[in-house]
Homo-oligomer: A and B are copies of this chain.
Amino acid sequence: MPIKPHTRITLKMIAQKAGVSVGTVDRALNNRAGINEESKQLVLSVAKTLGYKPNRLASALSRKRVVKIGMLYPDRPTDFYYDIDAGINMAAEELHDFGIMLEKIRYSPQDATGADTCLAALDLQSFDGFAVNAAGSFETRHFDRIAGAGIPVITFNTDAPESKRLFYIGNHSRESGRLGGEILDMILRGEGSVTVIGNFAQSMPFLERFSGFFEYLQLSASTLRVIPCIECRSDPMLAADGLKNLLTQTPDIRGVFCVGHSGTVGAINALKELGRRDIHIVGYDVTRQTADALREGWCDALLYQEPFDQGYQAARLLARHIIENWTPERAYLYLDTHVVLRSNLDSYLNRNARVYGNMRRDG
């Protein structure tokens, strides 16, 4: 192990070259008050010619203030939020050293006032930012109020585009719907009828997936016939019953597109009950139930939304905004929607444990 001097441009070096003190350099470089324009320009130009790169570490270490970020997301369904939560945990660990603390605030999406109560109870002033999963019946005006107070708010997993949130990170729901249409069309080769199990009342992403699905069929001039869809309201039972009903009325249904996890589970159960392996399901999210069904052939493809990454990146990016005053060029940061088939299912089960999980420190 060689001992090499660390040649790095420091504030001190800039100060020396510019003939000022580190304090002044700091003020210039960080846009702080109490410096006159001339010195500022001087310092800035010296820093530039020297090729100065700030050292986030030293900065974080010396910062007295602890940055506190509120992570606001539903407490269920447990399956789905388990992965988001894991991603947040990972980010929390990485950010901890930087003096950034993540505080999880779970709300109940079923309870219309749950999130509101949560927010009301919080001492907003003690937070430096919020990352919000705007699922369920969340009142966006709440975080408009927060954003209005100068505390940055971003959304993840589910957006609230009409709100004052800074940016969104998550999936492109419409695109994933198109993907669902493409896969179902590929499987069925445009023959027969399909139906959609929706969850539209619950929140926008579901509606967007549905739109995307239609969009694909439209664009590709698919010959698939779409039968009026079923609403499942996040209840697998309703989805199952609805599908069974529909099948008695319309026996030529060949495929089902489920815009959400509960609908997928319901549809799978219905087909199992009826023993209909000839009907093809394209659904959402990899959980034990859907994974088993995929493996056993009750389902053909699952669209996977990288929940782990959503939590992880949301925390990281918001932290970055707060610490470095960084903002993305676009207000939408889309993560990929993954196609999970039988052959790559194993990769997605416990995927985080595989790679990221191992990346956690031993202690």
Interface residues of A (CB under 8 A from B): 1-6, 52-58, 60-61, 64-66, 68, 96-99, 101, 103-106, 118, 121-122, 125-126, 128, 169, 172, 175-176, 178-179, 181-183, 186-187, 189, 212, 216, 300, 313, 316-317, 320, 324, 326, 328-330, 333-339, 341-344, 346-348, 351, 354-355, 358-359, 361-363
Majority-rule SS of A interface residues: mixed
Q: Which residues of B contact A104 (CB under 8 A)?
A: 1
Contact among B317, B338, B363 for A338, CB-based, below 8 A: B338
Give the distance to chain B from A8, nearest Cβ to Cβ, in Å: 8
Beta-carbon contact of A344 and B334 below 8 Å: no
Q: How far is the CB of A136 from chain B (nearest CB, A)?
A: 17
Out of B121, B316, B324, B341, which one reaches A339, CB within 8 Å? B341
Cβ distance A295 to chain B, nearest Cβ, rounded Å: 12
- Residues in B whose Cβ lies below 8 Å from that of A57: 57, 60-61, 97-98
Q: A1-B103, A216-B343, A338-B339 are in contact. List 16 more A-B contacts (CB 8 A).
A: A1-B128, A3-B103, A4-B66, A4-B101, A4-B103, A6-B64, A6-B101, A52-B363, A55-B97, A56-B97, A57-B57, A186-B341, A317-B359, A324-B362, A326-B362, A330-B358
Q: Name the residue among A5, A169, A316, A336 with the largest chain B CB count within 10 angstroms.
A: A336
A121 neighbours in B (Cβ, 8 Å): 1
A355 near B334: Cβ-Cβ < 8 Å: yes
A346 CB → nearest B CB, Å: 7
Asked if A182 contacts B339 (CB within 8 A), the reply is: no
Q: What copy number does this chain have within its complex?
A: 2
> Does B183 contact A361, Cβ atoms closer than 8 Å?
no
Query: What's the minimum C-beta distance from A74 to chain B, rounded to whole angstroms?
Result: 14
**Interchain CB contact (< 8 A) of A182 among B61, B342, B361, B362:** B342
Please name all residues of chain B whose beta carbon is closer than 8 Å to the beta carbon of A172 when the two chains form the complex.
347
Q: Collect the chain B residues with CB atoms within 8 Å of residue A118's CB.
A: 1
Most buried by B among A1, A56, A57, A335: A1
Say how far A240's CB is from chain B's closest CB, in angstroms.
Answer: 25
Residue from the list B65, B189, B317, B326 in contact with A361, Cβ < 8 A: B326
A–B pairs, 12, beta carbons within 8 Å: A3-B64, A4-B66, A5-B64, A6-B99, A175-B343, A175-B346, A324-B362, A326-B362, A330-B354, A334-B347, A334-B354, A335-B355
The answer to whether B326 and A351 have CB atoms under 8 Å apart is: no
Instruction: Please state if A339 and B339 are interface contacts (CB–CB under 8 Å).
Output: yes
Q: Are B101 and A313 in contact (CB under 8 A)?
A: no
